[in-house]
Amino acid sequence: DAGITQSPRHKVTETGTPVTLRCHQTENHRYMYWYRQDPGHGLRLIHYSYGVKDTDKGEVSDGYSVSRSKTEDFLLTLESATSSQTSVYFCAIKWTSGANEQFFGPGTRLTVL
Amino acid sequence: LAKTTQPISMDSYEGQEVNITCSHNNIATNDYITWYQQFPSQGPRFIIQGYKTKVTNEVASLFIPADRKSSTLSLPRVSLSDTAVYYCLVGDNNNAGNMLTFGGGTRLMVKP
């Protein structure tokens, strides 16, 4: 699975609390991505990173922030979780900039009550 | 990013060949066509990618006509374990951001 892990795998939290999801890779890849998946919407890109401290917004970035202080870790933070952020979150990495092949982590199921 | 259209669902039986067609009328010159497979409770998995004509690997074949406005993923002799959602994506291989846009996908159900 290309050495991608996500933690936690499941989390239940309350509205208004901060939440941080972690994506860890062991392959030293430059590009990392955070997606969310909801019924009827496929996967939607939240944020992505193209290097340490280099990040950019995706399609649905409102309410989310990211950080990448090390190549191997890409953190997704919900500053104040809302029920609309209940979703399954996937992290992905990409080998190089020259291919559309991404490898996805196992996902984190987040429930905001 | 070019938008894609594919059937919402398809049914098949074990041992049959399954062809899933995807339309991408606004595909750009630099865009590649990529297909992913996703099983329940798992992340998507890359299947195959192509630019034109035909590409084949150990899992599937991808047929792309000359105008590239559509593509067809072909799964030979499907089994129950091929039941999954299949996504067709179109994107620029040289896009550093590589913002893949996943649509709703095609839910394939393989029956015994």
Measure CA B58 to chain center.
15
Q: Are B107 and B44 in contact (CB under 8 A)?
A: no
CB pair distance less than 8 Å for B41 and A98 = no
pLDDT tens across B9-45, in order?
Answer: 999 999 999 999 999 999 988 888 999 999 988 999 9
The beta-carbon neighbor of B103 closest among A42, A48, A98 is A42
pLDDT score, position B24: 92
- The continuous run of DSSP H or E covering A59 comes out as none
| Closest A-chain CA to B36 | A101
d(CA A46, CA A65): 9
Tally C-beta pairs within 8 A across A and B: 66
Which of A100, A108, A109 would you mutate first to test chain B, the one with the most B CBs within 10 A? A100
- Is any Cβ of chain B less than 8 angstroms from the Cβ of A107? yes
CB pair distance less than 8 Å for A94 and B98 = yes
- Which residues of B fall within a CB distance of 8 Å from A42? 87, 102-105
pLDDT tens across B63-109, in order?
Answer: 999 999 999 999 999 999 999 999 998 887 665 556 677 778 999 99
- Which residues of A fall within a CB distance of 8 Å from B46? 101-103
d(CA B86, CA B97): 23
User: Closest Cα of chain A to B39: distance in Å?
Assistant: 11
pLDDT tens across A68-81, in order?
Answer: 999 999 999 999 99
pLDDT score, position A3: 87
- Which residues of A fall within a CB distance of 8 Å from B37? none
| Closest B-chain CA to A56 | B97
Burial B59-94 (b: 16+ CB within 10 A, else e): ebbbbbeeebebbbbbbeebeeebbbbbbbbbbbbe
Structure-token match 């067709």, residue found: B88
pLDDT score, position B70: 95
- Which residues of B fall within a CB distance of 8 Å from A105? 43
Q: Which residues of chain A have pLDDT under 50?
A: none
d(CA B22, CA B7): 8
